[in-house]
Amino acid sequence: MYKLLVFAQLREQLGQLQLNLDLPQAEVTLADLLGYLHTHYPQQSAILDASRFAINQVYVSDLSQRVQTSDEIALIPPVSGG
């Protein structure tokens, strides 16, 4: 089970701070997580594509990055304002 933290407008739209993602494969990448989210939350596709992942509090832009169930994975949507 992968725990994904969500923030800002994505958190508001989904109505929860943490999503528990159950992916069956042994090795999971950020691309796999993003695909899972697109399948299960298609109405949020635009914001998902504009969001950035962080693993263990470090931003990661390479979607081929592997993740472990023990990692702190966050999905952070773009923010605006001053």
pLDDT in tens, 19-65: 999 988 888 999 999 999 999 999 999 999 999 999 999 999 999 99
**Structure tokens that stand for 47 in this block:** 């914001």
In angstroms, the CA 5 to CA 7 distance is 7
List of domains in the chain: 2-76 (3.10.20.30)
In angstroms, the CA 42 to CA 34 distance is 11
**Structure tokens that stand for 22 in this block:** 């159950």
Q: Is the pTM value of this prediction over 0.85?
A: yes
